[in-house]
Each structure stands twice: as C-alpha cells, then as structure tokens.
Amino acid sequence: MQQTWEKEEGTINVIKTDLANCMDCYRCVRACPVKAISVHEGQAHVVDSLCIQCGTCVHECPQHAKLIISELDQVKALISSGRKVVCSIAPSFPAAFGGWKARRLPSALRRLGFSHVAETAEGADEISKASVCALGTRKVFTSCPAVVNYVEHYKPDYLEYMVEVASPMIAHAKMLRDQLGEDIDVVFIGPCAAKKGEAKRENNKDLVQAVLTFSELNEWLEEEGIELATCTESDFQRKNDYHNARLFPIQGGMLKTCGIEDDVKSSDVMHLSGSKAVKELFSIPPSEWNFKAVEPLFCDGGCIGGPGFPKDESLFIRQKRVKEYVQSYSSTDDKQPKTSVDLKTVFSPQKRSLALEQVSDEEIERILIETGKANPEDRLNCGACGYNNCREKAAAIALGMAEASMCMPQMKRLAQQRMDKIIENSPNGVVVLDEDLRIVHMNSAFRKMFMCNHHVLGREISYLINDEGYEKLLNGEADSFEAVRTKYGIRYHEMLYAFTNDRQYVGFYANLSRMKLEGSEINLIKKQTMEQAKKILDHQVKFAQDLVHYLGTSTAESEALVKKMMDLYEDEEL
C-alpha cells in the first residue's frame, strides 16, 4: 500500500488511499460533501487542507480503497512501553458492541492492556453542564469535529454562533489527567475519523495520545484472539448514569443531556444530522435562524452513522442498542468527583489551499471547450464524474484536481469511434453473430474475403461459410474453435469464440492463401498471427464489456497490436 499524493505542509491527514484498490470509479468524488478529493491518473486522493475528515469517502468507497489511517501500532507501542495507558471509549460503542457484548467490552479492553477503562460519556456529562450556560448567546451545540471543521473551513461567518466548549473526548482526557495524574497516556476509541484530527490540533496537544476506531479495535481483538464471549462480565471504572450523556451519539442526544427542552412541537430547538442537512443549515443566513439551539451532527443519525464501525448495520439497530445500554444505567450510585478542568475551547477560521469557487468563468469556458463541450447540449451535468455539473468539474480541472478523462459520456463517444475504426481497419476478417448464428456485424476485411456486402446482415452464417464450428460453440461443446478451411478458392484460418454472457459469437478469419513462405516459417507466422489475433480479440471483447474503463491505455495497446499485425503482413508480402 502506498500513498503517493504529497502531504501538504501543516495539515493533518486522517484518510489515505490504498492505490492498489482504487479503480477510478469517482464514487468518493461524488460522495465527498466538500469536494476535497483530487483525481490523478485515475486515482483519487484526499486534499488534506480541504478535507473536513468526516470519513464519508471511507464508507462510500466500494473498493475499500479509502482508509482511515490506523493508529493501532502506536497504541500497541504505548502499551508495551509499560506506561499507564488509559482508554476513553465513545458512548456509541454499544452500536458496535451491543447487548451482552457491551458488558464484556471493558474486560476485553483490560485484557488488551489498558489499565483504566472509562467512558467518554463522563466527559460528555461535564461539557453539557458547561455548554448549557451558553444558551441565549450562542446557538450551535455540537461535539462533532466534522461540523467544526466544516464551519472553520467553509463557513467561518458562522463561527460566532458556535458554543465554544471542548468536545467530550478532550474534556474527558483532561478529567482523566486530573483524576489519575499527568503521567498517563490517553487513547480514545470511537466511530469517528475526525476525532483523529481533533486529537492532533495544536490546542489539544498532548491530551490524547492516539485515537482508534471501533474497526481498529475489532481488528486488534481479533489479532489477540480475544473473544468477547469468553470475557468475563465487568463494568467500566465508574458506574454512573452521567445524566444520559450516553445518548450523545444519537441525533439530539447532547441537547437532551443539556436539559434543553426538546419537544417535537417546539420550533425553538432543532437537531439534524447528515452532511446534506448540515450544509443546508449553514447555507441559511444566520439572520433567519429563528431558534435558540441547534445540534448538527455530520454523520447520518449522529455518531452511530460514523465511518469507524466494523460492520455495516442499520442505524435503527445501532440506535436501539445505544438506547438499551443507556437504560441499563438507571442509578447514580457512584459519586461523580467534582472536576475543575478548563472546558473552554476556541474555534478559528482555517485556510484552504484551493477553492473551486475561485476559478474564473473564462477559465471554466476555456476548459469546457477544450474537453469537447463547446456546445451547451454536450454539457449533460450527469454527475458521473463525481462533480455536480460540468462547470464544477471544469473548475476542478483548472485547479488540477480533476482529469478530462473523468467525463463518461464524452469518453464513451470517443471509445466507440476508435473501436469501430480499429475493427473496421483490421487486416483480418471479423464477424459477430447473434445467438441464432445470424450475422450482426462484420468488417471490411471479412466482406472482402467472402465477397459480400451489408445485405448479408441478419442472415445465418451458413449462408456464407461452413458453420460447423459455430454449431459446436452453440451446443456448448467448446468455448472456442479453430480450423483451416477452403471456400471460394480461399484457404483461411478461422478462430471462433463464444461469449456466453452476451450470447454472441465472434469469428476471426485470416487469409492463408496469400502466404507464400516456407512451411516452418508459415507455421511460425501462423502461430504469431493467431496469437496476435487472439490478443486483439480479447481486447476488443473487453472493450465491448467495459468501454470507458479501459479507454486510455487499452486503446493504445490495441492500436499498437493492430500496427504490429499490419507490419507482419507487410513483411510477408515483400
């Protein structure tokens, strides 16, 4: 696995691309809510200064090529160093380790070597108390680092509405250090990619040594052979209900913990989740924010929709598990020690290295023309490239983030044209038959060889030549067939292939009567010719199947092959 995209100076990177898996599908470009993904030579990379670390690309990528950078090795090193390593686990953990597993996870964490295993909900409880004081002066209540990143990078005008209280992770880390002394290492485990970035922020320095996702935790447990089913039941270090702060990972959970009245009828209190809703919220002018509190969470459904879960399960199941776990703590047996740690934090505008909206209209027009979209009707705005419209994509090309070849309709058009040209110009006869062995397509060499014209289209091949080979393919006796035959005074070599998936048959014909060489040489050339033919055929079939995909390199290869074959024939004719 390699990361070739250069890391930008002064940025924090959280997501990397597994280049071996990245197959230019542009799904991440399409999914990225802030278009922070750049495509180079067909492969997609995250631009760190644009990225808000929401992790959407991670769970969207069908090839699993987008990965949250693992910190497992760092955590293992901390533990084996013999230092006291403390674990703070996010309240969304029952969504990943629910039901009976929830009561065994603390045991598993202790077996992994954590000396103190606590719930981040402890910090969430504290910051709720601190946040509620801001009611009336500030409106945005959120512990979501992706929302914070979004506002800092893209909507700095809204910063003045944000409640400036530390996140539960940071608050908890400070509290743990207050309780256990500074000589500890804190590892946060959660569902979130952005938390990895948050822990590395300058103002949070040295508070949290590493952040793991639940997926990383799961991987670690598997490596160590720790099965939750054979762990003893146990509790976290404290047994407290934390005033329902375990609800934080569910949309609206923070406001609930804060005690800010959340009546469905009330228009004063809003909570929303998912990138679309968050972007909408921050596109409404603050003057129209006629509510007193809003809790935006970047992932769908809240943190339970985060990218760091090991299994794909429905939000309903995850939400249910979290709620069941919350209900299992009804009492406040345990006295919560009063904490005196500073829970304030500061948010500030962040600079981006590039911005799509800064590209000039002239530049965009120029690129549109260059990429064959001079006509407005060619600007389909289909979104296949990942961008919302052709203009946006042109702007991305201008910034060097996108490539012309990402336009599917354009490429398909080009490919079709080139493909037809190659087949048509092949020195060998090519014919395509349907499932009834009727001629669907043939090239000029075939027409010339068997002296026919387009009137034979739709007729059975037996009308022209011996169809014994095709019958064999049709009956499923073979996938391919080869023979040397004579017809119309021509001695020819036929190579037939069946494409059962498409229910089509392709015949490839080489005219042998024009070859006047010595036996051995003929055989050699025959062999070579056939190999070449086979290769080109393979390529052509792939073309038919995945036209756009292989366009760039494959076309070149095919063309080279055709050229080589032509050269061979030329040699022969000398």
* Binding residues for another protein (CB under 8 A): 100, 103-104, 106-108, 110-111, 117, 228-237, 239, 333
Provide, rounded to whole angstroms, the least separation between the CB of residue 228 and another protein. 8
154/236 with CB nearer another protein? 236
Smallest gap from Cβ 100 to another protein, in A, equals 5
Q: Which 3 state secondary structure label does DSSP give 145?
A: helix
CB distance 543 to 419 below 8 Å: yes
* Cβ proximity to another protein, 180 vs 541, nearer residue: 180
Q: In angstroms, rounded to a whole number, what is the distance separating the alpha carbons of residues 91 and 124?
A: 9
Taking the C-alpha atoms of residue 486 and residue 427, their distance in angstroms, rounded to an integer, is 18
110 vs 352 by CB, closer to another protein: 110
Nearer to another protein, 16 or 103 (CB): 103
Nearest alpha carbon to residue 482 among 510, 502, 454: 510
Residue 98: CB minimum distance to another protein, A: 12
For tokens 């702060």, what's the residue?
Answer: 245
CA atoms of 547 and 409, how far apart (whole Å):
11
Cβ at position 235, least distance to another protein in Å: 5
* Residue that has been written with the tokens 């769908």 in this structure: 300
**Cα–Cα dist 51/28, whole Å:** 12
Q: Give the shortest CB-61-to-another protein separation in angstroms.
A: 34
Q: Which is nearer to another protein, 335 or 338 (CB)?
A: 335
In Å, what is the CA distance from 482 to each residue of 472, 485, 496, 506, 509?
Answer: 11, 10, 6, 12, 10
- Spell out the residues 6+ positions from residue 476 whose beta carbon is closer than 8 angstroms to its own: none
Which H or E element spans position 316?
A: helix 315-327
| Element holding 88 (H helix, E strand) | strand 85-89
Residue 359 Cβ vs another protein, minimum distance, rounded to whole Å: 57
Q: Pick the closer one to another protein by CB: 229 or 346.
A: 229
Instruction: Quote the least distance from Cβ 329 to another protein, whole Å.
Output: 13
- Cα distances (angstroms) measured from residue 341 to each of 88, 104, 173: 17, 30, 10
Cβ atoms of residues 124 and 141 within 8 Å? no
Q: Which is nearer to another protein, 91 or 507 (CB)?
A: 91
